[in-house]
């Protein structure tokens, strides 16, 4: 999922100070799990804005806020509230915000969150980053632990000299992923995988902005 973090309310207020009325868009997917764009957060922001003397014309939680067409269709019943609003505030990720920008070409769209990373949720609302979406997966060679993400230097050929009894030089809170990879490969009898020299990464695989057409021709005809 995409991890998001609420912005300070005062920062949001600073950005929207010129406007009076707002329509809030949350998301049932990641932002709900992160506690940044579910029903409780929609209600909370509505109340906070009203306390500041602003008008909230409506709130809505998209099924999947990054899905442009689906969200547009879901928003149809809210036409009246949307017509009355100066601004749309999106309470999900940067993709959700930009879906709203496409759906509301004539309205300013602001966001209440910062978008963090592709996240694994390890405990309730505790997240960590394990994949950088680099477009060229090497998990099969590294015991299923991604050094592109888990190593602050993204090293591909083993630990640097900063590894320290299993900890990373960047922070003792980070486990050295190359020690983890070593231990895991040792456990699953695949240490030879670690002895292979990996070539420099092909960053053209993640050249921005990326696009993907995943459907087949047959699906297109439907």
Tell me the site size for other proteins, rule CB under 8 A: 28
CB-based contacts of 118, cutoff 8 Å, min separation 6? 1, 2, 3, 129, 130, 131, 132, 133
Q: Which of residues 203-222 bind other proteins (CB under 8 A)?
A: 203
* Cβ at position 126, least distance to other proteins in Å: 23
Between residues 104 and 182, which has the closer beta carbon with respect to other proteins?
A: 182
- The single residue among 21, 132, 157, 206 that binds other proteins, judged by CB under 8 A, is 157
State the nearest-atom distance from the C-beta of 98 to other proteins, in Å.
Answer: 23
Long-range contacts of 192-200 (CB under 8 A, 24+ apart): 193/141, 193/142, 193/143, 194/142, 194/158, 196/141, 197/157, 198/138, 198/141, 198/156, 198/157, 200/156
62: part of which helix (H) or strand (E)? strand 55-62
What track of x and - describes contact with other proteins for positions 16 through 35 (by CB under 8 A)?
--------------------
CA–CA distance, 174 with 146 (Å, rounded to integer)? 14
Run of H or E residues at 203: none
Rounded to a whole number of angstroms, the minimum distance from the CB of residue 188 to other proteins is 15
Which x/- pattern over 117-156 shows residues binding other proteins (rule: CB under 8 A)?
-----------------------------------xxxxx
Closest contact distance (angstroms) between CB of 127 and other proteins is 21
The label of the residue with tokens 């309205």 reads: 107
State the nearest-atom distance from the C-beta of 10 to other proteins, in Å. Answer: 23
Paired tokens of 211: 């696009």
Instruction: Find the binding residues for other proteins in span 160-199 (CB under 8 A).
Output: 160-166, 169-171, 178-179, 182, 194-195, 197, 199
Q: Which of 80, 106, 124, 200 binds other proteins (CB under 8 A)?
A: 200
Among 13, 94, 158, 175, binds other proteins (CB under 8 A): 158
Give CA angle at 190 (186, 195), nearest 5°.
95
Residues contributing to the site for other proteins (CB under 8 A): 152-166, 169-171, 178-179, 182, 194-195, 197, 199-201, 203
């Amino acid at each position: 999922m995409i991890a998001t973090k609420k912005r300070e309310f005062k920062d949001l207020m600073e950005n929207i100070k010129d406007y009076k009325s707002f329509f809030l868009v949350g998301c049932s997917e990641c932002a709900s799990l992160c506690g940044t764009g579910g029903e409780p957060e929609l209600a909370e922001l509505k109340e906070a804005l009203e306390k500041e003397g602003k008008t909230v014309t409506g709130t809505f939680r998209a099924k999947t806020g990054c899905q442009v067409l689906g969200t547009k269709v879901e928003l149809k019943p809210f036409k009246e509230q949307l017509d009355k609003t100066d601004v749309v505030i999106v309470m999900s990720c940067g993709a959700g915000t930009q879906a709203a920008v496409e759906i509301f070409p004539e309205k300013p769209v602001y966001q209440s969150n910062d978008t963090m990373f592709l996240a694994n949720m390890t405990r309730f609302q505790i997240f960590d980053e394990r994949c950088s979406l680099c477009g060229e997966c090497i998990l099969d060679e590294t015991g299923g632990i991604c050094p592109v993400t888990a190593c602050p230097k993204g090293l591909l050929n083993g630990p640097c000299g900063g590894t320290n009894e299993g900890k990373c030089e960047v922070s003792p809170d980070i486990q050295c992923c190359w020690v983890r990879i070593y231990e895991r490969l040792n456990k699953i009898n695949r240490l030879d995988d670690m002895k292979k020299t990996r070539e420099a990464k092909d960053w053209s695989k993640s050249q921005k902005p990326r696009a993907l057409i995943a459907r087949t021709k047959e699906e297109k005809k439907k």
